[in-house]
Amino acid sequence: MTVCYPHLKAEDTPAFPGAEGFGRYTTGGRGGAVYHVTSLADDGSEGTFRWAINKGGRRTIVFDVSGTIRLTSALPLSSGNVTIAGQTAPGDGICIADYPFTINASNVIIRFMRFRLGNTYVAYHEGDGLGGMDQENVIVDHCSISWSIDECCSVYGMKNLTVQWCLIAQSLYDAGHSKGAHGYGGNWGGSGASYHHNLLCHHGSRTPRLGPRASTQTDERMDMRNNVIYNWSGNGCYGGEGMNVNIVNNYYKPGPATLQRPDYIQYRIAAPGIRTTSYVQSYPAFLPMLHVWGKYYVDGNHMNGHSDVTADNWTKGVYAQISNANNDNL
């Protein structure tokens, strides 16, 4: 008996079982070299995480050790076509701490990593827990990101992006940021960007900030679904200037910080905005989106404690959140 299998091209093969969303076909380091991390040091010597990150070509990074890698300086991922397989670490896994790790390359898979920035070296940076922008084909899966100075998870402005099954929590409220109290969740968006099955909790604002980049502003397509958002404060979720946004089947639970905010923020799903005249005068790269409202599909979201918003997401959860005074009275 002959068994025939359909021919699958690389672009039709998921990054791994369970990969979903726009970034699901990222190939990462598939078919390339394998580099073993054997040391928790950060001196760039062979066997360190920095050494493996700075290698070129297709590669998969695996871990023979567990524990905390305390970075001695910022670590940008500048060479793509890489899979960082945190699930290969023994024991309690791998944690990256003290300085920012940033995705500055395309075709990247990051799984089962912890990022705990902290404010030990706030005099030298005001970083995100995990950041990255203006790349393509990226998927972040089962990562835990917290204790940031700016935003916890600002991976956005990319083409074909997924952030899934991540814990994004406890940004530091007053950790020495030059603007004062900060502690934000993240900027989310992109030209085909999926954020699903994440827990976003305990942030001062931007939970998330629907943030189009200049590089993707004319083709912003973002899907945010099946997330849990708990204990938001500040402005909660807002923005979305000129974006196409799905907000579907998310679970919102106000917490102690939420209940100190005005009533309308306690049941906010999102507050849409536009690029105003004064904004584009300061940032002319965003002129193409001047006075362009985003397009939203909002359905199936549950607002704990507000059955009326659960039954009708749009009227109070979104439409009533628009402030004309902040949007050139349009």
Contacts of residue 118, Cβ cutoff 8 Å, sequence gap at least 6: 97, 98, 147, 172
Contacts of residue 315, Cβ cutoff 8 Å, sequence gap at least 6: none
**Tokens at residue 10, please?**
């690389």
134/155 Cα distance (integer angstroms): 9
Q: Sign of dihedral through CA atoms 67, 73, 75, 78?
A: negative
**How would you classify residue 78: left for phi > 0, otherwise alpha for psi between -120 and 50, otherwise beta?**
alpha
Other CB atoms within 10 Å distance of the CB of residue 326: 12
Contacts of residue 312, Cβ cutoff 8 Å, sequence gap at least 6: none
1/297 Cα distance (integer angstroms): 50
- Our CA dihedral for 273, 131, 129, 222, rounded to 10 degrees, sits at 40
Contacts of residue 275, Cβ cutoff 8 Å, sequence gap at least 6: 241, 242, 286, 287, 289, 290, 291, 292
Positions marked catalytic: 206
Contacts of residue 43, Cβ cutoff 8 Å, sequence gap at least 6: 50, 72
54/76 Cα distance (integer angstroms): 9
